[in-house]
Amino acid sequence: MAGLGYSDARRQTAAAAGEALAQGQGPAKAARAAITATDSFFDRVRVALKLDEQLANQACAAGCSWCCHQIVAITAAELDLVAEAIAAKPPKARAAIAARAREAAAKGAGLDQRQWWAARIRCPLLEDDGLCGIHESRPLPCRAHNSADAGACRRSFEGEAVRTPVLAAQQGVWAHAQTGLAEALAQAGQSAMGLNLALAVDELLKG
Ligand code: SF4
């Protein structure tokens, strides 16, 4: 399938984000352009690889949030997009996010991914109803997560050594897309440093 490899996802996302940056649209819009380009790319992958049945069998659904308890590594552009979504919320909701971010930072600073997961640290953007509070603006790694077995996700969250069945194509496309976004940022002389979403939100909202 010419033009549908992971490196193509990286290249196309880098091009879309790079164009937004070249037009002076700023990092948040570059992140949005990267997301739009990757959505479109994955749609082509879905058709080419006939993934509809596998996607229909995904267990991921609104309110299921086991995976929202791990370190989400993001670029500064994704943080800008998240920041815009937080800023658009009413003061009470922003204060709740800030409190959860403070708690996550207090528990999680210095932990690696395995330790963070074991500590069951909740993403500060995760609302009490199990929904992502910034769903439309969620970072690229959050769009990569998928599972065909929510029970396996729960058991893993509870500490059992269990493998979660995932759709590798979805994970791979979004992971390479984030690399493309980082490349576009670096090319434009902007920070492409990997940030921990929860800790970055804490820094952002510190009074
Ligand atoms: S940003 Fe949203 S989807 Fe991503 S980990 Fe946090 S709550 Fe979950």
For 103-158, what is each residue's pLDDT tens digit? 999 999 999 999 999 999 999 999 999 999 999 999 999 999 999 999 999 999 99
- Does ligand 1 lie within 6 Å of residue 123's CB atom? yes
> What is the rounded CA–CA span in Å between residue 170 and residue 94?
31
Ligand 1, atom 4: closest residue by C-alpha: 142
Q: Taking the CA atoms of 124, 128, 134 and 139 in sequence, report the sign of the dihedral they define.
A: positive
> What is the rounded CA–CA span in Å between residue 179 and residue 3?
17
- Judged against a pLDDT cut of 80, whether residue 2 lies above it is answered with no
For a ligand 1 pocket test, name from 84, 100, 113, 138 the mutation site with the most ligand atoms within 8 angstroms of its C-beta.
138
In this prediction, residue 207 carries a pLDDT of 65
* Rounded average pLDDT over 189-207: 93
> What is the rounded CA–CA span in Å between residue 144 and residue 175?
7
3 — pLDDT class (breaks 50, 70, 90): confident
In this prediction, residue 54 carries a pLDDT of 95
In this prediction, residue 192 carries a pLDDT of 87
In this prediction, residue 171 carries a pLDDT of 97
In this prediction, residue 157 carries a pLDDT of 97
Model confidence, pTM? 0.95
Going from the Cα of 136 to the center of ligand 1, the distance in angstroms, rounded, reads 10
> What is the rounded CA–CA span in Å between residue 76 and residue 58?
30
Q: Where are the alpha helices (DSSP H) in the chain?
A: 6-22, 27-48, 52-56, 76-87, 91-108, 113-118, 140-144, 150-157, 168-187, 197-205
- Judged against a pLDDT cut of 80, whether residue 72 lies above it is answered with yes
In this prediction, residue 193 carries a pLDDT of 83
- Judged against a pLDDT cut of 90, whether residue 76 lies above it is answered with yes
Going from the Cα of 142 to the center of ligand 1, the distance in angstroms, rounded, reads 6
128 within 8 A of 148, measured Cβ to Cβ: no
How many CA atoms lie less than 13 Å away from 5 in the CB half-sphere? 3
In this prediction, residue 4 carries a pLDDT of 86
- Does ligand 1 lie within 6 Å of residue 79's CB atom? no
- Judged against a pLDDT cut of 70, whether residue 1 lies above it is answered with no
Ligand 1, atom 5: closest residue by C-alpha: 68
Domain ranges (residues) in the chain: 6-205
Nearest atom in ligand 1 to 127's CA: 7
* Average pLDDT value for the chain: 96
* Rounded average pLDDT over 93-100: 98
Going from the Cα of 135 to the center of ligand 1, the distance in angstroms, rounded, reads 7
> What is the rounded CA–CA span in Å between residue 139 and residue 122?
16
**For 83, which DSSP code?**
H
